[in-house]
């Protein structure tokens, strides 16, 4: 997609976040396919090739979850966790393609997103700094050195705050900021629900 043509965050935030939140699910299980992540990923892809190593991984994860959802008819994140745990926690830990370990990666990325969007909303113009800080406070702890290095390099290519608010395609900057204020609480709620569920089932460190 060319720059600026992404329905991106507007679609994500106004519609998908509400779907996600309604079902308490971060992914794949709402009435909206892929449960909201497609809005973000379209937006990420519109930011250009520098971010494609990130979007490729995210697309692979969303696709895996969508395949699992269709194959097993999962209706909620909770039902997926229950089904995958039914063979016991050891069997789940041994699976490199489980829905749970995949959701966990996106769950950590959602924390990054929340922190980053909060920073963007705050008015701080230094997008790369906001992004790096959000990353260091979330995903970085779970990534090996090379990934941290590559991610930090990619963040330098982020557009300015003005350009960023513009590619969000919401309208004038003030409107984009207002939309963030509307969307962030949904992201926070979805994050909290998943965190609680995974903590209860001791899944927060799935390899």
Structure tokens at 19: 């779907």
Q: Catalogue the E-assigned strands of the chain.
A: none
Per rule CB under 6 A, is residue 115 in the interface with ligand 1PZ? Answer: no
| Paired tokens of 190 | 């979805």
Q: Applying CB under 6 A, does 44 fall inside the site for ligand 1PZ?
A: yes
Shortest separation between residue 47's beta carbon and ligand 1PZ, angstroms: 6
Phi-psi region of 74 (alpha: psi -120 to 50; beta: other; left: phi over 0): beta
**Counting contacts by CB under 6 A, is residue 186 touching ligand 1PZ?**
no
**Beta carbon nearer to ligand 1PZ, 75 or 142:** 142
- Distance CA(13)–CA(207), nearest Å, equals 30
Asked if residue 57 binds ligand 1PZ (CB under 6 A), the reply is: yes
Around Cβ 76, how many Cβ atoms within 10 Å? 16
Considering only 13-21, 41-49, 67-75, 77-85, which stretch makes contact with ligand 1PZ by CB under 6 A? Answer: 41-49
Task: Give yes or no for residue 151 binding ligand 1PZ (CB under 6 A).
Answer: yes
- The residue from 65, 100, 113, 167 that contacts ligand 1PZ (CB under 6 A) is 113
Candidates 22-30, 45-53, 78-86, 174-182; binding stretch for ligand 1PZ (CB under 6 A): 45-53
* 59 is a site residue for ligand 1PZ (CB under 6 A): no
151-172 b/e (C-beta count within 10 Å ≥ 16 → b): beebbeebeebeebbbbbbbee
């Amino acid at each position: 997609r060319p720059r600026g043509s992404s329905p991106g965050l507007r679609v994500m935030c106004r519609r998908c976040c509400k779907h996600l939140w309604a079902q308490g699910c971060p992914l794949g299980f709402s009435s909206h396919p892929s449960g909201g992540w497609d809005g973000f990923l379209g937006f990420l892809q519109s930011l250009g090739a520098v971010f494609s190593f990130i979007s490729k991984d995210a697309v692979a994860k969303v696709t895996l979850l969508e395949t699992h959802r269709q194959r097993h008819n999962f209706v909620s994140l909770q039902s997926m966790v229950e089904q995958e745990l039914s063979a016991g926690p050891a069997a789940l830990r041994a699976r490199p393609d489980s829905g749970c370990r995949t959701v966990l990666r996106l769950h950590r990325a959602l924390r990054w997103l929340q922190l980053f969007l909060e920073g963007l909303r705050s008015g701080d113009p230094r997008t790369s700094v906001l992004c790096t800080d959000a990353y260091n406070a979330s995903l970085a702890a779970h990534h090996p050195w090379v990934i941290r290095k590559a991610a930090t390099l990619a963040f330098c290519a982020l557009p300015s705050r003005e350009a960023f608010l513009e590619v969000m395609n919401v309208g004038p900057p003030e409107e984009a900021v207002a939309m963030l204020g509307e969307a962030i609480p949904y992201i926070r709620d979805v994050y909290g629900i998943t965190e609680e569920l995974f903590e209860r089932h001791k899944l927060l460190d799935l390899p």
